[in-house]
Amino acid sequence: MIAAEILASILLPWISALVIYVLNNHRVSVFLTVLNFVILTIIGLHLWFSVNNPITLHPPHLVDWLLLVYDYGLLLYFFKQGIENRNPLVSVLAVIQIFLLSWVVLIRPHSEVPNIYIDKLTVFMYLIVGFVGSLITLFATRYMQDENPVREGEFVAILVWFLGVMNFIVSVNNIEWFFALFETTTLASYLLIRFRGDTVSVNNALLALWMNQIGGITILLALLFAIHKYGITHFSQFGEHTQLALFPLAFLSAAALVKGAQMPFHRWLLGAMVAPTPVSAILHSATMVKVAPYLILRLSPFIKGTLLAKLIVVFTGFVFVVTALLALNETHFKRILAYSTISLLSLMMLAGTIGTPITITVALMLIAFHAVAKALLFLEAGVLEKRYHAKTIYDLKHIINKAPLTVFFILVGFLSMTMVPFAMFVAKWLMISEMSELLSKASYIITVAILAIGGAILTVLYLKILGLTINRDEESFRVKIEKLPSLYTIPNVIYVVLILIATLFINTFLVYFFAPITQSIIGYIPPFCEGLSVCIKNLQLPFWQIIIAFFFVVFFPIIAHYIHFKTDRTAEYSCGEPVKPRISTYNMVCLNKVSTYFESISLALFVLVLVIGGGML
Amino acid sequence: MKGILFTFALLSPIIGGLIYGLERKFKARMQNRQGPPILQPFYDFFKLTDKRALQVHSFHSLMGIAFFVAAWFAVFALLIGPNILIAIFLHVLALLFFTAGGFSVKSPYSVMGALRELAHILAAEPILVFAAIALYLSTGSWNIEGILTSNTVPILQMPLLFCALVLTVPILLKRSPFDISEAHQEIIGGAEIEYSGLFYEAVYTAKWLEYIFIGVIVFLFGGSNYLLGALLVAATFLFVWLLDNATTRLTIHYMMKFAWGILLPLAAFNIFWVAIWR
């Protein structure tokens, strides 16, 4: 039964993608995406309750060979794309990959270790992919009606297929399979980014392609070394060796850092925004970049406390602060979201690398709620683009006069990433507290500074954008709530409701949802206490504070829309100067001067992670 | 102790008003002026209630009220809540409403003030978080009661951080040289400019609460030595008032450079040093 469910959650998206592609019919697409949403979520929930111990599966050997053939086909396709688009780098990297893969095939030992390994972390990813990702595909069906109805089937099919790939990649135990699927996510993002087909799209797609190919190469190098030294071909075998060299772990982590668009490789994710908005939504929230923290969490028990872990902490910490800073300099709404994704991905990986029970829980919370918040924000970005033709944050000025509901959703999305009492705030708070705890034992000292500074920057960033949107010129009760197509609104409403519920009952989620996953990763359950107040060790966030803060953040904006003080009105004072009020916001151009330094430093740190972290020095 | 702290939190707007009255008196004396009576803020308060209530729009007015309520809540969370770090973030939440109010009206001064307020948050928030971490590091407790009953005196371990905190007080209270977001001669009060009458009352009182908020954090650096704590608070406020009288306004760039280039490294160095030393 469980095996069938696992198979279903991997294969269902592949099959529905095929059907959507072939039929290319709007109604069929809507039906199948909804079906995916329902079935994947139900299966995920059921698996959640049934998978208490890791489940392993032995797919037939045929699958192994099929995947290998597929892998070669895929790499040849990359090679061909490099030739066709006159990008020698892509072709060269593909050749290197083919060479390394052949080498792996030649020396790999015969292994009876199961190739599929399902634990709570996997099911957790299923739930994110199924719940968050499927809603994006549903949104995409309507979005393509506004954009290019003819190619709707093709577009939605790739998105749905992406979900299947994602479900597959989090289930595999075999590193070679992981490589194949890693490159498949690269392929999917490549196809999606170049979807519009213009020069900019193609260039950015190729950029994403070669950067992610580097990640593929580091996986292959790690695998080669692991096979050569230890005969390791599967992730689960890392635990069997106590004296493990750091080389394979460092190179696998490097693949995660590339996939997670960390600083010297951040341009591919920024470039991805030329694609239709659902692409950004799906890349940022449920798929693609989430492979990065997932992989780090898989490796976390093995790298915890090593020099490698410390280097990754320094690197991701640096990227966390720096990308948050660079986001202040951006004016394009989607680029700001992209920078903040990179920043928060660093935080997830930082937390995952440190690897104490609380930080692992924090990483999981960030993965889950960042997925929801970013999906929400990108879908709103899509709505803004299609309905209000707003692309930069300056286009968002006064938009509350036209679209109060959209503004409310954006507000929830932004504030949920930074403000009391939202789940991601609880995660950051737990993180700062845990780091202070470690600080008092004189380990990971600088991380508290990183967290305090990066958190403040992100807060200001979100407030800066919100500030532009809420500048209004009349009483709000006169503003009608905008009517949007229901396929635009429904996914967003579901996300917002989920965020709000998770905020109120955060401790329930912590105790019954996140803590068991932590246990399955490191075998130790963080001692959260029961009840509605968050409390663990000497930390406490009482429920009454959650409720009151919730009331402030969520209900005040709603009330503010309907409340109307019956007092006399006055025009703005402005000291009687006859200026036409034009508002704007900071654009910290001073950061342009230093951004190249940031990139150089991060490149140096990345090399350090590989060289020193990999034990090559 | 819980009862005392609760009463203090309940009375904090009044105590904050008294401190404001004292401030005006002290500053006047420093300038060789007579100065208003200490209760002047309350006279102003009652006078404001008599004024005709005018508003730009209801959203704006509501944000002013939300600022006051949230600021008071932050003081409550600081004084009776179990975690001072949460209180510091709740304080940011209060400022969020203040800036939201400033952003929501079509007045250049108000929007500019709100933007500058964001810079104040950017400059001050990390140092407040550092202060909470420092208190935890030296007393081993996130709880105000735990800090007030601990055996250690945090300021002895964290002198540099305390200096940074004292120099952050002008940023938080918008006092010269960092009264940038109010800057009466430039942007006429910034985000407060469009409030009037009853609604201004809320913003006006909320600013009294800021004295309490920062004052309590300073007080905690005395640990269980309450006399020392009280002395620290008095010294800090006197210093800030003197500074307010003696300096002229800097620009936002100077503030950011000062906060991030000097205060943050100072505070961080102190924390790191203590962590390594033990």
**Per-residue pLDDT tens digits for B180-209:** 888 778 777 788 888 877 888 888 899 899
> B194 to chain A: which residues are within 8 Å by CB?
572-573
Asked whether the predicted pLDDT for residue A271 surpasses 90, the reply is no
Q: What is the mean pLDDT of residues A34-56?
A: 89
Both tokens of A204, joined, read 């950015």
In sequence order, the β-bridge partners of residue B54 are A568
Domain range summary for chain A, segments of one domain joined by +: 356-562
Asked whether the predicted pLDDT for residue A474 surpasses 70, the reply is no
β-strand pairing of A568-569 with B54-55: parallel
Nearest to B21 by CA among B204, B233, B221, B214: B204
Residues ≥6 apart with Cβ < 8 Å to A393: A331, A332, A333, A336, A465, A468, A585
Asked whether the predicted pLDDT for residue A57 surpasses 90, the reply is no
| Interface touch A579/B108, C-beta < 8 Å | yes
Provide the pLDDT for residue B72: 92
Task: Compute, in degrees rounded to 10, the torsion defined by CA atoms A246, A249, A250, A256.
Answer: -170
Phi-psi group of A305: left, alpha or beta (phi > 0 → left; psi -120 to 50 → alpha; rest → beta): left
Contact A389, A403 (CB under 8 A): no
Provide the pLDDT for residue A4: 86
Q: What is the DSSP letter of B182?
A: T
Min Cα separation B149/chain A (Å): 15
Within A83-147, strands assigned E span: 116-118
**Which residue type sits at A443?**
S
Nearest to A565 among B61, B93, B278 (CB): B61
Contact B23, B241 (CB under 8 A): yes
Share of chain A above pLDDT 70, in %: 98
Give how far Cα A511 sits from Cα of A416, A528, B166, Å.
Answer: 20, 6, 40
Confidence of residue A568 (pLDDT cuts 50, 70, 90): confident
| Interface touch A549/B90, C-beta < 8 Å | yes
Based on the number of CB atoms within 10 Å of its own CB, is B32 exposed (0-12), middle (13-18) or buried (19 or more)? exposed
Lowest mean pLDDT among A119-123, A466-470, A488-492, B160-164: A466-470
> B57 to chain A: which residues are within 8 Å by CB?
472, 474-476, 569
Q: Give the global pTM.
A: 0.92
Confidence of residue A392 (pLDDT cuts 50, 70, 90): confident
- Express each pLDDT in A285-315 by its tens digit: 888 889 999 999 988 888 888 888 889 999 9
Give how far Cα A614 sits from Cα of A96, A324, A371, Å.
Answer: 21, 28, 31
Both tokens of A180, joined, read 């194949």
- Express each pLDDT in A66-118 by its tens digit: 999 999 999 999 999 888 888 888 899 999 999 999 998 888 888 888 888 88
Contact A213, A186 (CB under 8 A): yes
Alpha helix positions (H), A128-274: 134-147, 152-169, 175-193, 199-230, 247-259, 267-271
> A471 to chain B: which residues are within 8 Å by CB?
103-106, 111
Give how far Cα A265 sits from Cα of A287, A432, B93, Å.
Answer: 17, 27, 34
| Interface touch A464/B111, C-beta < 8 Å | no
- Express each pLDDT in A343-389 by its tens digit: 999 999 999 999 888 999 999 999 999 999 999 999 988 888 888 88
How many Cβ atoms from other residues are within 10 Å of residue B138's Cβ? 24
Return d(Cα B167, Cα B24) in angstroms, integer: 20
- Computed on alpha carbons and rounded to an integer, the radius of gyration of chain B in Å comes to 18
| Interface touch B93/A420, C-beta < 8 Å | yes
- Express each pLDDT in A200-252 by its tens digit: 999 999 999 999 999 999 999 999 998 888 888 888 888 887 777 788 888 98
| Interface touch B121/A569, C-beta < 8 Å | no
Alpha helix positions (H), A355-398: 357-388
Provide the pLDDT for residue B68: 92
- Express each pLDDT in A3-16 by its tens digit: 888 888 888 989 99
In sequence order, the β-bridge partners of residue A535 are A540
Provide the pLDDT for residue B169: 92
Number of A to B CB contacts under 8 A, please give it.
206
Asked whether the predicted pLDDT for residue A480 surpasses 80, the reply is no
Return d(Cα A174, Cα B91) in angstroms, integer: 49
Contact A468, A393 (CB under 8 A): yes
Min Cα separation B192/chain A (Å): 11
β-strand pairing of A55-57 with A116-118: antiparallel
Return d(Cα A158, Cα A174) in angstroms, integer: 25
Domain range summary for chain B, segments of one domain joined by +: 2-272
Provide the pLDDT for residue A583: 74
Provide the pLDDT for residue A468: 83
Return d(Cα B6, Cα B79) in angstroms, integer: 7
Exposure letters B205-235 (e unless 16+ CB within 10 A, then b)? bbbbbbbbbbbbbbbbbbbebeebbeebbee
Nearest to A348 by CA among A282, A279, A291: A291
Both tokens of A159, joined, read 């998105």
> B115 to chain A: which residues are within 8 Å by CB?
464, 467, 585-586
Return d(Cα B172, Cα B166) in angstroms, integer: 10
Min Cα separation B38/chain A (Å): 30
Specify the residue for token string 């002895």.
B156
| Interface touch B142/A539, C-beta < 8 Å | yes
Return d(Cα B52, Cα B197) in angstroms, integer: 6
Asked whether the predicted pLDDT for residue B178 surpasses 70, the reply is yes
Provide the pLDDT for residue A476: 62
Q: What is the mean pLDDT of residues A552-577?
A: 78
| Interface touch B82/A448, C-beta < 8 Å | no
**Mean per-residue pLDDT over chain A, rounded:** 87
Return d(Cα A447, Cα A435) in angstroms, integer: 7
Return d(Cα A14, Cα A129) in angstroms, integer: 13
Provide the pLDDT for residue A349: 92
